[in-house]
Amino acid sequence: MDRSGTGRALVMGGGIAGLLAARVLAEHHLDVLVLDRDELTTQDDHGTRRGVPQGRHVHALLPRGRQILEELFPGLTAQLVDRGSPHGDLLADARLQLSGHRFARADARLPTVSVSRPTLEAVVRARVRELPNVTFSPACDVLGLTTTPDRRRVTGVRVLRRADSSAEEVQAGAVVVDAMGRASRTPRWLEDLGYDPPPADELAGDVGYATRHYRLAPDVLGGDWGSLQGPTPSCPRGGALARIDGDRWIVTLFGLLGDHPPLDHEGFLAFADSLTFPDLGRAIRTGPPLDEPVRMRFPASVRRRYERLRRFPHGLLPLGDGVCSLNPIYGQGMTVAALQALALREHLGRAPAPDPHRWLRRVARVVDPAWDMVVGGDLALPGVEGPRTPKVRLLGAYISRLHAAAEVDPELAVAFARVMALVDPPATLLQPQRVLRVLARGRPARGHVGTQPPGRDEQPSAGARAATTHRSWTETSEEVRR
Ligand SMILES: Cc1cc2nc3c(=O)[nH]c(=O)nc-3n(C[C@H](O)[C@H](O)[C@H](O)COP(=O)(O)OP(=O)(O)OC[C@H]3O[C@@H](n4cnc5c(N)ncnc54)[C@H](O)[C@@H]3O)c2cc1C
């Protein structure tokens, strides 16, 4: 590399988006340097790091995300399974409850691995470290950007290493990727350089999360590996329970609009009991907790509209949560980052130098479906403030009827799960024959605490389902790639 940074890419942030971007940049024969303010370790620790506080909470890797990770790192799924991550279909082997309706059991051909965020990140990071043209610079704070004198091109970054008596230094790079997550300071740095900051769309749900790990029997959910419950208008609370690597179960409870789960033992249990379906509360009473609950507040989903800026410096490529940080109710953030990595691969394949405006429009198109889903879901809850346009209202009413219909119609349950998993586009839910099925079967959403009929949480035993729903991992993986 010469001092101008030609042939070198810098990735600011070594979280999921940064790791995947580094993998893609490396195949374009660039020397890649990943800078992160945290100490990054390769061991499979079960703790989390300061830069990624959300990693202590449930982190579902959606089927489309797993599929992309497998494409970028062949054999990754098997590596995760070897480390004890349970796997199975998203709908046949797990419970999905949205708008107060438990989805019908069906084989959605959506192979899923249930893994903790620290383990997933450690495995992906170890694979990136194997790439000969990628190096990591941990404990290294990025302070700002360097540019050409006319400020039209980013030429590198200013950094400060977290070591005694270190002084500010410059790292040069022809391509600089912003993967600093939700806390990215790029909007401010742009202003400092005389550019406009991106306009931001915000949807304030004031969500509070609380998470605890438990040692529970493998069959505590009747053989299922997980259960997800979304909020309803009358119960803006939800939660997820999943068996994960390390022979543990993780439970994350959440409440919107300031109704946050408490951390004391009794309060935590009572909050779990208050959910529409009883699975979580019942399950966590059957085994010992392994740690104290931890909490995190998620004030708002934020989407930075970089694509609307008329001026943007060459060489700078924002992605990941720095562009769009989604209310994680549908667990889409890491999968959106994975989709952006594929988009980056395609973008770099088209032209030798990235085109910032084309890139920003591309990122916006990747984000659109997940953003629309989160906006629609959040605005279905009366207290959430946001623009309830006629389109949002209509789609919200339709999706809530679809959820009701999915309780009894496996085909609709599969269709929604595949859109939620970011495998199929949202437009598939509006195919005429599906609309007719929804209108014929969907009842308006219920969702009152305790409205489910007795025995509603009972599921066919895993053994009984096995004959019809379980196929080999390779078989289901092959199917989902088609
Ligand atoms: C409670 C909660 C639960 C979630 N659950 C899920 C889920 O189930 N499934 C899912 O897919 N997503 C989930 N998400 C979202 C997911 O965590 C993010 O979408 C994903 O981590 C985005 O990756 P990223 O690389 O953009 O950002 P991050 O993973 O946050 O990484 C940013 C990195 O940048 C580094 N950094 C920041 N500033 C600097 C700086 N100045 N200098 C150097 N380094 C810096 C940080 O140390 C960090 O390593 C959840 C989020 C929350 C809050």
Q: How far is the centre of ligand 1, averaged over its atoms, from the C-alpha of 305 (Å)? A: 19
Residues 6+ apart with CB under 8 A from 2: none
pLDDT at 470 over 50: no
Question: Which ligand 1 atom is at minimum distance from the Cα of 50?
Answer: 47
What pLDDT digit, counting tens, does each position of 364-423 carry? 999 999 999 999 889 989 888 888 899 889 999 999 999 999 999 999 999 999 999 999
Ligand 1 touching residue 181 (CB < 6 A): yes
Confirm whether 163 is domain-assigned: yes
Confidence band for 285, pLDDT divided at 50, 70 and 90 = very high
Number of domains in the chain: 1
Q: Is 351 helix (H, G, I), strand (E, B) or coil?
A: coil
Confidence band for 442, pLDDT divided at 50, 70 and 90 = low
Confidence band for 4, pLDDT divided at 50, 70 and 90 = low
Q: What is the pLDDT of residue 468?
A: 31
Q: What is the pLDDT of residue 386?
A: 85
- Give the residue, by CA position, lying nearest to ligand 1 atom 37: 180
> Closest Cα to residue 320, out of 34, 110, 98, 90?
34
CATH of the domain at 180: 3.50.50.60
Q: How far is the centre of ligand 1, averaged over its atoms, from the C-alpha of 323 (Å)? A: 11
Query: Which long-range CB contacts under 8 A does 80-83 form with residues at least 24 apart?
Result: 80/113, 80/115, 80/119, 80/120, 80/123, 80/245, 81/113, 81/473, 83/44, 83/115, 83/119, 83/123, 83/245
Q: What is the pLDDT of residue 41?
A: 75
Q: What is the pLDDT of residue 1?
A: 45
What pLDDT digit, counting tens, does each position of 149-190 carry? 999 999 999 999 998 888 999 999 999 999 999 999 999 999
Confirm whether 150 is domain-assigned: yes
Ligand 1 touching residue 68 (CB < 6 A): no
Q: How far is the centre of ligand 1, averaged over its atoms, from the C-alpha of 321 (Å)? A: 6
Task: Report percent pLDDT > 90 for the chain.
Answer: 80
Confidence band for 448, pLDDT divided at 50, 70 and 90 = very low
Ligand 1 touching residue 63 (CB < 6 A): no
What pLDDT digit, counting tens, does each position of 300-342 carry? 999 999 999 999 999 999 999 999 999 998 899 999 999 999 9
Q: How far is the centre of ligand 1, averaged over its atoms, from the C-alpha of 471 (Å)? A: 33
Confirm whether 127 is domain-assigned: yes
Confirm whether 418 is domain-assigned: no
Ligand 1 touching residue 335 (CB < 6 A): yes
Ligand 1 touching residue 228 (CB < 6 A): no
Ligand 1 touching residue 118 (CB < 6 A): no
Question: Which ligand 1 atom is at minimum distance from the Cα of 16?
Answer: 25
Confirm whether 422 is domain-assigned: no
Confirm whether 75 is domain-assigned: no
- Give the residue, by CA position, lying nearest to ligand 1 atom 44: 36
Confirm whether 86 is domain-assigned: no
Question: Which ligand 1 atom is at minimum distance from the Cα of 332?
Answer: 11
Average pLDDT over residues 67-75: 98
Q: What is the pLDDT of residue 82?
A: 95
For residues 6 and 368, the model is more confident at 368
Task: Report percent pLDDT > 70 for the chain.
Answer: 89
Ligand 1 touching residue 125 (CB < 6 A): no
Ligand 1 touching residue 209 (CB < 6 A): yes
For 189, the domain range is 8-60+121-199+305-367
pLDDT at 100 over 70: yes
What is the chain's mean pLDDT, rounded?
Answer: 89
Q: How far is the centre of ligand 1, averaged over its atoms, from the C-alpha of 407 (Å)? A: 33
Strand ranges across the sheet with 324-325: 101-102, 94-98, 226-229, 237-244, 248-255, 200-214, 294-304, 324-325
Q: How far is the centre of ligand 1, averaged over its atoms, from the C-alpha of 13 (Å)? A: 9
Confirm whether 172 is domain-assigned: yes
- Got the DSSP string for 365-393? HHHHHHHHHHHHHHHTSTT--S---HHHH
pLDDT at 268 over 60: yes
pTM: 0.91
Ligand 1 pocket: which of 162, 177, 304, 334 to mutate (most atoms <8 Å of CB)? 334
Confidence band for 444, pLDDT divided at 50, 70 and 90 = low
> Closest Cα to residue 77, out of 111, 125, 122, 41?
111
